[in-house]
Amino acid sequence: MADRKITTENAPSGVTAAAGFMAGAAMAAIKKADKRDVTVIYSTVPASAAGVFTLNKVKAAPVLLSIGRLASGKAQAVVVNSGNANACNGEQGMKDALAMAAEAAAVLNIPEEMVLVASTGVIGKKMPMDKVLPGVREAAGVVSPGGGSLAAQAIMTTDTYPKETQVRLQLGGKTVTIGGMAKGSGMIHPNMATLLGFITTDAAISDACLKQALRYAVERSFNMITVDGDTSTNDMVVIMANGMAGNEMIKDDSEDFRSFREALAQVCDKLAIDIARDGEGATKLIEVEVRNAGTERDARLAAKAVAGSSLVKAAIFGNDANWGRVICAAGYSGADFDPAKVDIFLGNVQVAKDGGSLEFSEELALKALKGSTVKIMLDFKSGPFSATAWGCDLSYDYIKINADYRT
């Protein structure tokens, strides 16, 4: 795929890489001074839009607002703040989310129903609207085609670096761009959108195809990462497609649709892997691949359980080739497989064969474990299906970040 039409660039433009998209950011001091904490993403024309949202029973006000507005399949802007999740704030929370959207709509001169809202930060604290609204006003007022990378900074919480990417592909002689940004770090666990992700594209694509492509891409990327097993109240991935690339409208399961879908999956993969690598306290990315499973579901369940096991994560942090914890996690994942057939590899080193131990070079295994990306592969030898999940190791710093010690 990548060698045919798509090239990944390093230009720091993210959500403003595609034609007709702008972004602006502001410092509203919602939680901290001197940090950009509000951003507005804007399409100069109305766009098709789709989203996936947290399955948590407790949904933050901006999640409920955005779910409702996306029923139309259209949007033109997204307001995002970090520093406060606006979750568990009752009716006031919804009023505040509506006010944020209205403020951006007024500045951008678009209908407020075309504005989505996303928030991330602490749960159960009232939004400091005296700070938030001026921030939204400022961010909306400074939207520009070069604003993508500041936007990616503004959505960060405990992330240690901004996460953005873009790809370009040719569709019927037209260049189509898909760009995106995301934030993650803690409270990350597969089950629908598990973070904030914003993707923009100038592709012309029907609402239905856009929704389908987003679900396909999220299922293989954001839904396959885990940091700590906690699914947040606020997570969402939203995509807007404004058609400005001038390609022939994608409206069915055509070759163009499949090209677009794969390019979108590439964007989501990049952002998701960045989130896993930058998990709270992480020192390494863990990539778990399950091969030759009987069903795709079995492959996914097992890969996610291994990537999410506290004991596996702690072992990887400690450079311990503890394959017993790996097979144990696969065993309780709910996946169906024959334990007596499982081979396990750490990087290129086979560490278990037919579900049992094997002589292997501790030196080579240690080398595989000390890399910045640790690959674990389980071969179930029972079917044609495979899946990959991503996580990170569990270090002292995860505790430090989340314990916020009080005496």
Smallest separation (angstroms) from a copy of itself to the CB of 339:
4
Give me the DSSP letters along 169-181: EEETTEEEEEEEE
Among residues 113 and 296, whose Cβ is nearest to a copy of itself?
296
For residue 232, the 8-state DSSP code is P
Residue 157, annotated as binding a ligand: yes
User: Taking CB under 8 A as the rule, which mask of x and - marks residues 37-76 in contact with a copy of itself?
Assistant: ------------------xxxxx-----------------
> Per rule CB under 8 A, is residue 405 in the interface with a copy of itself?
yes
Of 45, 54, 51, nearest in space to 73 by CA: 51
For residue 101, the 8-state DSSP code is H
Q: Parallel, antiparallel, or unpaired for β 385-392 and 38-53?
A: unpaired
> Per rule CB under 8 A, is residue 364 in the interface with a copy of itself?
no
What Rg do the C-alpha atoms of the chain give, in angstroms?
A: 21
Known active-site residue 175: no
Residues in region 272-301 near a copy of itself by CB under 8 A: none
Please state, in angstroms and rounded to a whole number, the distance separating the CA atoms of residues 358 and 166. 43
Residue 231, annotated as binding a ligand: no
Hey, which bits of 254-346 come out as E strands? 285-293, 343-346
Give me the DSSP letters along 82-133: EEE---S-HHHHHHHHHHHHHHHHHHHTS-GGGEEEEEEEESS----HHHHH
State the catalytic residue, choosing from 39, 177, 194, 388: 194
User: Taking CB under 8 A as the rule, which mask of x and - marks residues 221-240 in contact with a copy of itself?
Assistant: -------xxxxxx-------
> Per rule CB under 8 A, is residue 187 in the interface with a copy of itself?
yes
Residue 16 is encoded by which pair of tokens?
């403003």
Among residues 30 and 327, whose Cβ is nearest to a copy of itself?
327
Q: What number of CA atoms fall less than 13 Å from residue 4's CA on the CB side?
A: 10
Please state, in angstroms and rounded to a whole number, the distance separating the CA atoms of residues 52 and 3. 29
> Per rule CB under 8 A, is residue 371 in the interface with a copy of itself?
no
Annotated binding site for substrate: 157, 183, 194, 280, 402, 407
Q: Which residues are catalytic?
A: 194
Interface contacts to a copy of itself, rule CB under 8 A:
55-59, 85, 87-90, 122-126, 186-187, 189, 191, 228-233, 308-311, 314-315, 317-320, 322-325, 327-333, 335-337, 339-340, 352, 354-357, 366, 369, 394-396, 398-400, 402-407
